[in-house]
Copies of this chain bind each other. A is one copy, B any other.
Amino acid sequence: MIQTFQKFFYQFLLLYRPFENQLNALLGKHGLYRAQWTVLYYLFNFGPATLVELASYQSVEKPTMTRTVQRLKELGYLEAVPTKDKREKRMQLTEAGVSVYQEVRLTIDAFEEKIIEGISEEEQLEAIRLMKDIQQKITKWEMEM
Tell me if B45 and A128 are in contact (CB < 8 A): no
A114 within 8 A of partner (CB): yes
Q: A27 CB to closest chain B CB, in angstroms?
A: 12
Given A15-B131, A127-B127, are A6 and B119 also a contact pair (CB < 8 Å)? no
How many Å from the CB of A51 to the closest CB on chain B? 16
Task: Decide: A141 near B115, CB < 8 A? Known: A9-B19, A14-B135.
Answer: yes
8 Å CB interface, A29-51 against B: 34, 38, 41, 45
With known contacts A4-B124, A18-B135, A117-B137, A38–B9 Cβ distance under 8 A = no
A85 contacts partner chain B, Cβ-Cβ < 8 Å: no
Question: Residue A7 at the B interface, CB < 8 A?
Answer: yes
A124 B21 Cβ-Cβ under 8 A: no
Instruction: Provide the bound-state CA to CA distance between A137 and B142, in Å.
Output: 34
Let me know if B138 and A22 touch, CB within 8 A. yes
A8 and B132 contacting across the interface, CB-CB below 8 Å: no
Taking A4-B124, A5-B112, A8-B112 as known contacts, 8 extra A-B pairs with beta carbons closer than 8 A to each other, sorted by chain A number, are: A5-B124, A6-B109, A12-B16, A12-B19, A18-B135, A22-B141, A119-B130, A123-B126
